[in-house]
Each structure stands twice: as C-alpha cells, then as structure tokens.
C-alpha cells in the first residue's frame, strides 16, 4: 500500500492460485477496484466480504487461454502496450523448478 500512498490499486491480478496471493489482492484493491483471478486454485481461499462489500469490488475469474493472444500481440506490435514496464523480474528456465 505504501506504493499507492495507501489508496490501493485499481486492478489486482491473482495469477498464482494460492490463498496468500488472493488475500494480498483483497488487501490492496481500492474502492471500485477489480480483482482478476486467473490463478488455478487447488484449495479453498477466504473471501473477505466483511471488508469488501462496501467497496464495490468486482471479481472476475478465467483460465488463461490463447483466445486473445493474437489481439494482444497486435497491441504490443502497435506500441499501445509496452510489456517492458510490466516486467519486474527475469528468471532462467532452470530457476523455475
């Protein structure tokens, strides 16, 4: 929250599928914000409606697929989306295991 001066983020993306990251998304999303849950959850997670209900939060879920890949690549190629500003870490393939 310190990065947003305690205002929170407009969109929080949960892409890991674990309780901890889903909880972080709930804690950092601002009023009127959106949680995009694309992580595949193997276990139940807590949804804190006691704090979210009055904040008009939208939560969407979807499995990652290739339906929008062509459109995404066109947007990147046109320079409308700059992926370099979204990338925070680089990993070698052998570090992923």
The residue ranges of every structural domain in the chain are 2-95
- Percent of residues, the chain, with pLDDT higher than 70: 97
* Amino acid 43: pLDDT: 93
CATH of segment(s) 2-95: 3.40.50.720
Integer angstrom CA distances of residue 42 from 23, 47, 49, 91: 15, 15, 21, 25
Say yes or no to pLDDT of 58 above 90.
yes
Q: Which has the closest alpha carbon to 86: 68, 65, 72?
A: 72
Say yes or no to pLDDT of 45 above 90.
yes
pTM of the model as a whole: 0.67
Entry field: residues in the chain: 97
* Mean pLDDT of the 42-58 span: 92
* DSSP sequence for 29-64: EEEEEEEEE-S--SS-----HHHHGGGT-EEEE---
Whole-angstrom distance, CA of residue 17 vs CA of residue 62: 12
Say yes or no to pLDDT of 87 above 90.
no
* Mean pLDDT of the 61-90 span: 87
* Mean pLDDT of the 14-19 span: 93
* Mean pLDDT of the 28-35 span: 95
């Amino acid at each position: 929250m310190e990065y947003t001066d305690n205002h929170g983020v407009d969109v929080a993306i949960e892409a890991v599928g674990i309780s901890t990251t889903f909880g972080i998304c709930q804690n950092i999303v601002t009023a009127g914000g959106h949680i995009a849950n694309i992580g595949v959850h193997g276990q139940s997670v807590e949804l804190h409606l006691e704090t979210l209900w009055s904040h008009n939060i939208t939560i969407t879920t979807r499995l990652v697929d290739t339906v929008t890949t062509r459109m995404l690549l066109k947007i990147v190629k046109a320079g409308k989306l700059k992926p370099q500003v979204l990338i925070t870490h680089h990993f070698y393939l052998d570090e992923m295991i």
